[in-house]
Amino acid sequence: MTRAYLPLTLAALADAESTGEVVVTDDVVLAPDDSEEQEYAALMTAADASAELVAGPGRRVVLVVDVAQEPAVGDRVPRARWAAVHADVEDRPVDADPDDDLGWFGVQEIPHLL
């Protein structure tokens, strides 16, 4: 199983929630192994990419998915493979510290994030 970190915006998360699948983009980040340090590094790299997607005040969003093999751009990952969502709990200013931690949310909590 491969754990992938998909940087999103809230709008993209809403689209994924409504369709029941997320499309892998070229911003996907993989943890090279399942050590906590590598997973955290992958999460924060994806969070930085999410901040670039937001391009202003807003919330970083990272959807964590478990897939059988390394995902390719354009692959569709069904909701059953979503493991968690990491997101800012409130909008952040543009000059916020990029190392601020994200909140952890179960996939069943996605409607409350939106």
Q: What is the pTM of this model?
A: 0.93
DSSP states along the chain: -EEEEEEE-HHHHHHHHHHTEEE--TT-EE-SSS-HHHHHHHHHHHHHHHHHHH-SSB--EEEEEEESSPPPTT-EEEGGGEEEEEE-SS-B-TTS-TTPPPEEE-GGGHHHH-
Domain range for 42 is 2-113
* pLDDT tens for the chain, residues 1 to 114: 889 999 999 999 999 999 999 999 999 999 877 789 999 999 999 999 999 999 888 899 999 999 988 899 999 999 999 999 999 988 888 778 877 889 999 999 999 999
If one counts the domains in the chain, the total is: 1
